[in-house]
Structure formats: C-alpha cells, structure tokens
Structure 1
Amino acid sequence: MWLQAKESLSVQQTLVIDQERRNRFILGVLFTMVIAGTGTWVGALPGINRIGAMLSAILIAVIYRNVLGYPESIREGIQFSARFLMRFAIVLYGFKLNIDMVLHKGGMLLVYDTMIIIIAITATMLLAKLFKADLNLSLLLGIGTGVCGAAAIAAVSPILKANDEDTAIGAGIIALIGTIFALTYTFLMPFLPISALEYGIWSGMSLHEIAHVAAASMPAGQDVMAMGLLSKLGRVFLLIPLSIVLSLWMKRKGEGEGKQSAPFPWFLAGFMLTSLVGTYLPIPDVVLNDISKVSSFLLAAAMVGLGLNVHLSSLRNRALRPLGAMIIASIVVSAVSFFTLLWFGL
C-alpha cells in the first residue's frame, strides 16, 4: 500500500510538473506575440511607421532583454517562436510570390536580379574580410541585402546554422538600413535622369524589403509601384535556388570538416508550394491580404524571440564592421542597378 501510494504521488507530481511546463511554454509563445503586437501598434504610429512593425518589435525585445533580463522561466516557448513560428511565417510568405508574373513578365528582370544578388553577397563578404568583420553575420547581411531583407535572413539562417543573436541583429540592421535607403530614394526621385517606371524597377532591383520597395515607389503612382514589386518579386523567387545552393554548400562543407551536414530546408518546399497555390489557384485578394498580415505578424513574433538573445555590448562589438560592409555593399548595389538601367534599359 505504501509503495502504491508513493507511486501514485510520483505520478501526480509528474503530471503537475508537465502541466507547469506546458503553461510556461504557452506563456513564452504569448509573450513574443504580445511584444509583436505592441511593435505592430507602435510601428503604425505617425513618423514611426517608416521603420515598420518588425524593427519596432525587435527594438522592444532588445530593450526588454538588456533592461529586465531574459525571461528564463518561459525560455522554451520563446525559442519555439524564434524557430518554428519563423519557418511557418516563411511558408506563408510564399503566397506573396506570383511565380507566373515573374516568369512571363520579368524575364530580363530575373537576369538583372541574379546579378544584383551575386554583387550584394560578393561585395559584402569582400568588404567584411577587408574590415576583419564577423563573416557569419556579414553573410546573413549580404543575403538580406541581395534577396529580400529580413525574410531572406530568416529563411537561410537554419541552413547556415546561424545563431539566434546573429539572425536578430541581421534582421534589425536590414530593416533599419533599408528604411533609410527607401527614404533617400523618395527624396532623390524628382532629380533622377530616369523615367518613373525605370525608377520603380530600380527600387525593386536594389531596395532590401518588399515594404521598402512599396514605400519608395508608391509616391510615383500605382503603375510604378507595380513595376517595382514585380522587380522585387524576381529577387524573392531567386531565394529558392539560392537556398538550395547554400544547403548543398553547407552539406559539402560539413562532410569536408567531418561535421554533421546541413538538413534539407523543408520549410522552403512549403514556401514553394504556397507560391504555386497563390499563383495558380483563384484565392480572393482579401484572403491573400489576410495571409500576408498573419505572415508578417508571425515573423515579427519570431524576431522578438531572436531579439531577446541580443546583448547590446555584443551588438556594439560585433555588428559595427558588418554594418559598415553592408552599407557600402548596398550603395554598390544601388549604383550598379541604377547605371545598368540608365545605360541598357530592359
């Protein structure tokens, strides 16, 4: 009887511990979503809306971590948001990509976009070596600059086995610098020796995020913004072959160094599937807009989870040189894409 009572008590204690663990897990996920919601609200305020919800959420998370510390009791839920919600957000992000439009209307743009991605990554890495910067963070920034900003960084981070801090720093830098570039483009627009449509294409070829392209090209009109987004979608489309190349490179690198090879990024297969669904199935625009909002919110929640790992001292010590390399590379991308359009057109 005594042994049975002891075993019964042990089972009850285990159930209580498991329930407490589940509760902390749920609280961790909700914690990231609350901050993401706060960042979304702050990012919509006049003036602050230029930096957007994602950067606002990351900044709130970084401030929380460095003022109040990391909430250890709910770490498991936060880590779930940082990793699994991020992958799910990337899958949903695929609905934004119209593959048919890219392939049939943006053939030459794809050639230019490929060139831009190669230049962005190469220039960032060469400058990073010159500046003796952190190469892992610099590679993330080069990919974000060349492809589609924070979404690209989130997509390739698991492939490159980047740590959470690098991913968060990279996403924050991309969002901030991309916003500055978008504002600069808007200011320069009336003085540029190119047509309005060429300005839209230039924005799509060189700016970091889809939101940055929309913000920079919208003042020139809906047609200009449409061309800018088409150009940008070509770079988003190229995230798929780039990720495959990076996966193969990591696998070969792992084998060469006797380490575990990189797993296949199955969430990118989901990204491709949702791209096909969004392109070829008659989904109402209102549904696609809702999916886009959910994707952006989940990505912001994931970035909160990552931002909670950022030490400001580490940011100061490790990020300044990669930041310098990324800014110069962004200027190179902007200049090359501009003069390519000016001299050769489409």
Structure 2
Amino acid sequence: MATAVETPAALNRTKPSEPSKLDPKTLFFLGLLLAASGLVSPPIALVGGITFGLTLDHPFHRESSKLSKLLLQISVVAMGFGMNLAQVVHAGRSGFLYTAISITGAMVLGLVVGKLLQVAGKSSFLITAGTAICGGSAIAAVAPITEASEEEISVAMGTVFLLNSIALLIFPAIGWALHLNQNQFGLWCALAIHDTSSVVGAAARYGNQALAIGTTVKLARALWIVPVSLLTAAYMSRKSTSGKKAKVKIPWFIFLFVVASVANTYLPQFAAGSASLNHLGRTGLTATLFLIGTGLSKKTLQQVGVRPLVQGVVLWIVVATASLAAIYYGVISI
C-alpha cells in the first residue's frame, strides 16, 4: 500500500522539472541562434522576437538592448561592402534636399500635434525627433540634452519601436501593390521609416537596388542628428539652471559605412571578401531584429500610453503618406 501511495506523489514531484525545457533563457538563445543562422528572413525573426517579448519575461533585457545597438551598427557597416560608391554619392546628394524638407516638416508638425494632444513637452519632442530623423538613435542623442527622464525616454522609444515593427512588415506589401520600382521604394523607406534597422530590413526584402538607395539616403538623413542636437543644446542651455552642457553623440558607423563602400568600389581584388562581409551584415541584421523584437513587452506597451502613441501614429502616417505620394507621382525621385 505504501508503494501505491508514494508512486503518484513521486510522479507529481517530477512535473515541475518539465517546464525547464521551455525556460526563457533557453528559448532566447535558441531564437537568437536561429535568427543568426540565416535560415529565417528578417520579418520572421522580428515577429519571433516580438512573440517572445510579449509572452515571456526577458532574462537578459538590458544586455540584449546593448547588444542589439552594437550589432546593428556593425551589420550596417558590413553591408556597406555590398554598396557601390557611385550609387552612394548620387543617392546621398539627391536625398539631401528631400531629407532636409521632410525633417523640417516632420519636426514642425510633430510638435504641433503633440501640443494639441497635450503630450508632455519632453516626450513630445523625443517622439518628434525620433520620427523626423532616425528613431532610437535620434532619441538617444537628444534625450541627455533635454535632460529627459527614463520614463519619458521609454515612452518615446516604445512609440517609435511599435511603428518601426509595423513598417517593416507592411511597407514591402504596399510597395509591391503599387508596383514601385527599386529606387522609389528605397527612397520611400529612407524618408518614412524611423530606425535604420527597419529601413534596411524592409528595403532588403524588396531588392538590392532598393537596399542601396534606402540605406544611403537613410544614413544621410541620420546625419541631421548633429545639427538638431546642437540646436537643441543651444535652446536648452538658455533654459537650464544647472549650467551643464550635454555632449552630442555622432553616429560613427555612418562614416565606416562610407569607408566600406569606398573599399568595395575601388578595391576589386577584395571582391570575395566584400561579398562575405556583406552576407555577414545581412545575417547580423536578422539577428538584430530578433533582439529588437524581444525588447517589446507588455510593460513597454503600458508605458507608451494613448496620447504619445496617437501623436506618433498621426505624425508617421502623414510623413509616410506624403512622401509616398510625392515619390509615386514623380515629384521627387532618385
């Protein structure tokens, strides 16, 4: 009788060990390895990361965030070895005027919408800067200058990140539906999508030429971080009572991307190596998108709130629609 009673108890005691097979740490590393293997596409890696972030507690949230930023920059530089300098120079020169107009218009519109929705001043400015320039990079650059709190930064990052995820998934479908050519789609991605990672991911799905145009114009757009940061610092110094001056962070990887393009164009003897580095860059991007996706949690969604999200969505829709219309009807082109 003792044996009959103990056997079910013993079986019950073994049950708690079974869920260890689905331990968040194990799933995180499996997902990251799969994304880095090249067996899945960037959108699938992103969706997988988002699913992980929304359903499980992230065991390495802080480390993953730091790694994704570094890996993104390295991947963009490596993908520069697949670019032709002639295309880079032409796209950058043509895209400079377009980015100047779009950034100015987006900044003005974003601040007006934020004021109408009564979004807190710093949150509104961070969301506007992130949408107008280059998403998280712009927010990271201007946040210290404005002395924004961690909550305000999280709200802005969360809003921009949500829209980036949506853009990465729907932009290629819209481009195919409208029969945009490679140059048109690349330019649209560069002008309408926030973060470099999402621009590269969406453009890469569309084609190599779209990737070349999108990445180059996007990086030219990202250079506006410097003047916007300087203007913000000048404005804040007039209001600051602490007397401290924040440093402006320059995105170094943009210049390394240009160096990689130069090497790929003028050093044909390294063509095989350039092709390998370009492939590694694409693989690194896929892994980066998985890491970015895992950073989206229920807590992030709660922090975003309604008003900042509405501001970000309205601004993003206006910028995306206006730039698409201008490109589709030939008002702007590359």
TM-score where L is the length of structure 2: 0.65
Q: Take 1:219 and 1:292, find their aligned partners in 2: how far apart are those partners? A: 11
Greater RCO, 1 or 2 (C-alpha within 8 Å, sep 6+): 2
**What is residue 44 of structure 2 aligned with on the other side?**
49
- For the pair 1:181 / 2:181, whether they are aligned, the reply is no
**Secondary structure at 2:241's aligned position in 1?**
coil
CA distance in 2, matches of 1:89, 1:219: 19
1:21 is aligned to none
User: Which of the numbers 285, 290, 315 marks the counterpart of 1:329?
Assistant: 315
Question: Hey, what does 1:242 align to over in structure 2?
Answer: 225
- 1:164 & 1:92 partners in 2: Cα distance? 26
Give the direction of change, closer, same or farther, for the CA distance of 1:199–1:295 in structure 2 (3 Å limit): closer
Q: Is the 8 A contact 1:141 1:326 kept in 2?
A: yes
Give the 3-state SS of the residue equivalent to 1:344 in structure 2.
coil
Q: How does 1:13-92 map to 2 (within 5 A)?
A: 37=29, 40=32, 49=44, 51-52=46-47, 55=50, 59=54, 64=57, 88=70, 92=74
Structure 1 residues not aligned, in runs of 5+:
1-31, 66-70, 72-76
- Structure 2 CA distance, aligned partners of 1:307 and 1:214? 20
Query: Unaligned stretches of 5+ in structure 2?
Result: 1-23, 265-272
Residue 287 in 1 paired to residue 274 in 2? Answer: no
For residue 156 of structure 1, report the CA deviation from its aligned partner: 4.3
Please state how far the C-alpha of 1:130 moved relative to its aligned partner.
0.5
The one-character-per-residue Cα deviations of 1:208-236 (angstroms, maximum 9, x if unpaired) are: 3445445555665x2xx523541343232
Q: How does 1:101-120 map to 2 (within 5 A)?
A: 101-120=87-106
Match of 1:3 in 2: none
Identity rate, percent: 17
The amino acid across from 1:49 in the alignment is I
Alignment match of 1:259 (pick from 222, 228, 242):
242
Question: C-alpha distance in 1, partners of 2:146/2:306?
Answer: 21
Say whether the 8 Å CA contact 1:42–1:56 is kept in structure 2: no
Partner of 2:136: 150
User: Paired residue for 1:170, among 138, 151, 156?
Assistant: 156
State the shift of 1:248 in Å.
Answer: 4.7
Residue 108 of structure 1 and its aligned partner are, at CA, apart by: 1.9
Residues 140 and 167, structure 1, Cα contact 8 Å, conserved in 2: yes
Q: CA deviation at 1:42?
A: 8.6
Shift of 1:320: 1.4
Residue of structure 2 in register with 1:344 after alignment:
331
Q: Match for residue 252 of structure 2?
A: 270
The 8 Å contact of residues 144 and 174 in structure 1, kept in 2 or not, is answered as yes
TM-score by length of 1: 0.64
**Offset of residue 324 of structure 1:** 0.5
C-alpha deviation, 1:107, in angstroms: 1.9
Give 1:327 deviation, angstroms: 0.7
How big is each residue's C-alpha offset from its partner over 1:21-78, in whole Å with a ceiling of 9 and x where there is no partner? xxxxxxxxxxx99886466469787997274566556546xx638xxxxx9xxxxx97
SS at 1:258 equivalent: coil
CA contact (8 A) 2:95 2:220 kept: no
Change beyond 3 A, Cα 1:217–1:249: closer
Could you report, residue by residue, the CA deviation over 1:91-131 in whole angstroms, capped at 9, with x for unpaired residues? 53661566954333332222112222222332222111100
Cα displacement string for residues 170-194 of structure 1 (whole angstroms, at most 9, x for unaligned residues): 3343333233334444444455386
- How has the CA–CA distance of structure 1 residues 79 and 201 changed in structure 2, closer, same or farther, with 3 Å as cutoff? closer
Asked if structure 1 preserves the Cα contact closer than 8 Å seen for 2:133 and 2:225, the reply is no
Contact persistence 1:251–1:262 (CA under 8 A): no
In structure 2, how many angstroms separate the alpha carbons of the residues matched to 1:87 and 1:216? 18
Equivalent of residue 121 in structure 2, options 135, 141, 148? 135
2:178 to 174, 188, 192: 192
- Does the 8 A contact of 1:186 with 1:217 survive in 2? yes
CA distance in 2, matches of 1:47, 1:335: 24
- The alpha-carbon distance between structure 1 residues 163 and 92, as it changes in their structure 2 partners (threshold 3 A), is farther
- 1:294 positional shift: 5.4
Give 2:194's match in structure 1, choosing from 208, 214, 238: 208
Q: How many residues align?
A: 294
